[in-house]
Structure 1
Amino acid sequence: MDAIRITDVVKRYPEFTLGPINMSVGQGEFFGIFGPPSTGKTSVLKLILGLLTPDEGQVEIAGRDAAEMEVSARGISMVFQNLALFPHMTGRENIIFPLKERGASEAEIAERLDLVSEVLHVSHILHKNPAQMSGGERQRIALGRAFAAQSRAMLLDEPIAALDARLREEMRVELKRLQRENNQTFVYVSHDEEEVMAISDRVAVIVGGRIAQIGTPEEVYNEPCSLAVAEVIGSPPMNFFEGRFSAEGLRFESDVLETDIQVVCTTQKGGAGTLGVRPEDIWLGESEGNPSFKVRVSTVEPLGGYTIINARIGKQIIKIRAPGQVALEEDAWQSVSLDARRLHLFCAKGSRL
């Protein structure tokens, strides 16, 4: 049985419609929701929690229609982006607040507090108020409050967005560890693709208020189902070339690329399309058996373990991600080749071919 199931859910706003949304989250799954800002990600969490009521469709919690359940009976905890800790309470009081609200015994409260404190390593800050804590410490207390409630699922709305880059990396690892050790169901929302892809078992990509694709991080990255998904997944983003398929359906021809791309496609004869190539799939130098052409180097960004090269083909700028440190002169001509095994083709309507 799924921990959460959403079927044909629609939520209408004055200037925006979310849905229809169809998705399911398995018990013990780390489910990520990713998309650009203002696409409805947080609204999905609020529909699950019960803070919003769908205009159409159904939300099920553990097989039951959520419309027939009180919010408190859904057994779901949520960690908000601003953490929403009570400023006048200590860390200990914040963590045990949901337990006291439901009338748990002192013995149960003490047991849950000890367990959560040990798992989250917060015993040394339980006496502090949130104002006396660092960002990472407040994050752990907020997670502790959610864990203490022993909920069916935890909803996390960009919970680490306010932390610095190094602390975000540490908290990503910590969240995954906690989820695995407790066999907890997590639904994690973020506009940071790297966060979601790094820790999720499956990812739902939301574009324009609709779920464009659901799959493992590998599936979503390597086989985007549409141009819309390909545009938002990947950093640096995928390079795109407009063109047409030849009458024989065996080549993709572009006014920009000075090379023919052999393709296996017989359904788009003479039709318009788009070729997508990820920056890491463009290699410096010519490669036998792979399409090759020349670009003019614009700028070079050395980033330690890899180098981002911005180059021009005509008026179009493309990005190349080369391993290691690469020394190239600006305005120099450079031969490059495409990894023919990892090209992405999309038809005029944006669907993957």
Structure 2
Amino acid sequence: MDAIKITEAVKRYPEFTLGPISMSVRQGEFFGIFGPPSTGKTSILKLILGLLSPDEGRVEIAGQDAAGLDVSARGISMVFQNLALFPHMTGRENIIFPLKERGAPEAEISNRLDMVSEVLHVSHILHKNPAQMSGGERQRIALGRAFAAHSRAMLLDEPIAALDARLREEMRVELKRLQRENNQAFVYVSHDEEEVMAISDRVAVIIGGRIAQIGTPDEVYTEPCSIDVAGVIGSPPMNFFKGRFSDNALHFESDALGTRIPVVGTTQKGGVGTLGVRPEDIWLGETQGNPSLKVRIVTVEPLGGYTIVNARAGKQIVKIRAPGQVVLEEGAWQSVSVDARRLHFFGPDGVRL
């Protein structure tokens, strides 16, 4: 049974319409929602939690129609981006607050507190108020409060966005571990592609208030269904070359590339289209069996384990992600080759061919 299911849900705002949204989250699944800011990600969480009601469509919780169900009756916990801890309460009091509110017996409260404290490693800060805690400690207390409620599902709205890079990496590991140990359904919202792709079992890519694609992180990365999805998944983003398919449907020709790229896996004949190539699929130097072209080096960005090379092909800037450290002279011509196994072709409507 799906823990959460949304069917053709629509929510209208004065200047924005969310939906129709259709998605399901399985029990025990870590489900990510990714998209640019202000595309409706948080509104989806509010529809699930019951803070918003859809103007059309249906939301189901554990197979039951959620229409008319109070927030408290849905059995769902939410961790907000600003954490929303009670400043006058200690860590312990914040964690057990939902249990106290529902009148849980002291034995249950004690057991849940012990479990949460052990899992999140917060026993040493339970006596502190939020003002005395670091950002990571406050994050753990907020998660502890959500876990203590023993809900069937957890909604997380960019919960680690305010932490520094190292803490975010640590919390990603913690979240995945907690979700697996508790076998809960997690719905994780973020505009950080790396976060969502790293920990999700499946990802919904939302663009302009609509879900553009749902799939595993590998599926949405290797087979984006449209130019829009391909453009928001990947860092640096995919390179796009507008051009034309030759009449024999064997080649793609672009003025920017200055070479003919063999077309594989499409019967497109003639007409305009777009070729997409990820920066890591463009290699420095010529390689046998792969299309090659000449580019002029614009800038080089050494980033430790890899280097971003910005080059010019015709009038277009091409981004190349090269492994390790490379030394290239700005303004010099460089031969590069394109991995023919990893080309993406899109039709005139932007849909993957």
Give the TM-score category using the shorter length: over 0.9
Say which SS state the counterpart of residue 205 (structure 1) adopts.
strand
Counterpart for residue 133 of structure 1: 133
What residue identity is the alignment partner of 1:308?
A: I
CA distance in structure 2 between the partners assigned to 1:271 and 1:75 by the alignment: 53
What residue identity is the alignment partner of 1:221?
A: Y
CA distance in structure 1 between the partners assigned to 2:196 and 2:281 by the alignment: 22
Counterpart for residue 46 of structure 1: 46
Q: Does 1:232 align with 2:232?
A: yes
Say which SS state the counterpart of residue 296 (structure 1) adopts.
strand
Say which SS state the counterpart of residue 68 (structure 1) adopts.
coil
Counterpart for residue 341 of structure 2: 341
* TM-score after normalising by structure 2: 0.99
CA distance in structure 1 between the partners assigned to 2:296 and 2:218 by the alignment: 32
CA distance in structure 2 between the partners assigned to 1:267 and 1:342 by the alignment: 17
CA distance in structure 2 between the partners assigned to 1:314 and 1:253 by the alignment: 13
1:291-302 superposed matches below 5 A: 291-302=291-302
Shift of 1:68: 3.3
Say whether the 8 Å CA contact 1:248–1:266 is kept in structure 2: no
Say whether the 8 Å CA contact 1:18–1:209 is kept in structure 2: yes
Shift of 1:171: 0.5
Shift of 1:268: 2.9
CA distance in structure 2 between the partners assigned to 1:266 and 1:211 by the alignment: 25
CA distance in structure 1 between the partners assigned to 2:282 and 2:27 by the alignment: 40
Q: Does 1:217 align with 2:225?
A: no
Counterpart for residue 105 of structure 1: 105
Say whether the 8 Å CA contact 1:258–1:293 is kept in structure 2: yes
Say whether the 8 Å CA contact 1:252–1:262 is kept in structure 2: yes
1:301-312 superposed matches below 5 A: 301-312=301-312
What residue identity is the alignment partner of 2:127?
A: H
Q: Which range is displaced more, 327-336 or 64-73?
A: 64-73
Shift of 1:191: 0.1
Counterpart for residue 179 of structure 1: 179
Shift of 1:312: 0.6
Counterpart for residue 319 of structure 1: 319
Say which SS state the counterpart of residue 67 (structure 1) adopts.
coil
Say which SS state the counterpart of residue 187 (structure 1) adopts.
strand
CA deviations over 1:213-242 (Å, ceiling 9, x no partner): 000000010000111100000000000000
CA distance in structure 2 between the partners assigned to 1:265 and 1:301 by the alignment: 34
What residue identity is the alignment partner of 1:209?
A: G
CA distance in structure 1 between the partners assigned to 2:26 and 2:226 by the alignment: 25
CA deviations over 1:35-66 (Å, ceiling 9, x no partner): 00000000000000000000000000000000
CA distance in structure 2 between the partners assigned to 1:349 and 1:146 by the alignment: 44
Counterpart for residue 144 of structure 1: 144
Shift of 1:282: 0.1
CA distance in structure 1 between the partners assigned to 2:270 and 2:263 by the alignment: 13
Say which SS state the counterpart of residue 169 (structure 1) adopts.
helix
What residue identity is the alignment partner of 1:185?
A: A
Say which SS state the counterpart of residue 112 (structure 2) adopts.
helix
What residue identity is the alignment partner of 1:128?
A: K
CA deviations over 1:169-207 (Å, ceiling 9, x no partner): 010011111111111110000000000000000000001
Counterpart for residue 200 of structure 1: 200
Counterpart for residue 73 of structure 1: 73
Shift of 1:212: 0.3
Say which SS state the counterpart of residue 349 (structure 2) adopts.
coil
CA distance in structure 2 between the partners assigned to 1:294 and 1:95 by the alignment: 60
Say whether the 8 Å CA contact 2:11–2:55 is kept in structure 1: yes
What residue identity is the alignment partner of 1:226?
A: S
Shift of 1:264: 3.2
Say whether the 8 Å CA contact 1:27–1:184 is kept in structure 2: yes
Say whether the 8 Å CA contact 2:5–2:24 is kept in structure 1: yes
CA distance in structure 2 between the partners assigned to 1:190 and 1:266 by the alignment: 34
Shift of 1:266: 5.7
CA distance in structure 2 between the partners assigned to 1:40 and 1:296 by the alignment: 40
What residue identity is the alignment partner of 1:138?
A: R
Say whether the 8 Å CA contact 2:78–2:154 is kept in structure 1: yes
Shift of 1:265: 5.7
Counterpart for residue 261 of structure 2: 261
Q: Does 1:15 align with 2:21?
A: no
Aligned length: 353
CA distance in structure 2 between the partners assigned to 1:118 and 1:250 by the alignment: 61
The unaligned stretches of length 5 or more in structure 2 are none
Say which SS state the counterpart of residue 67 (structure 2) adopts.
helix
CA distance in structure 1 between the partners assigned to 2:281 and 2:268 by the alignment: 24
CA distance in structure 2 between the partners assigned to 1:266 and 1:246 by the alignment: 12
What residue identity is the alignment partner of 1:22?
A: S
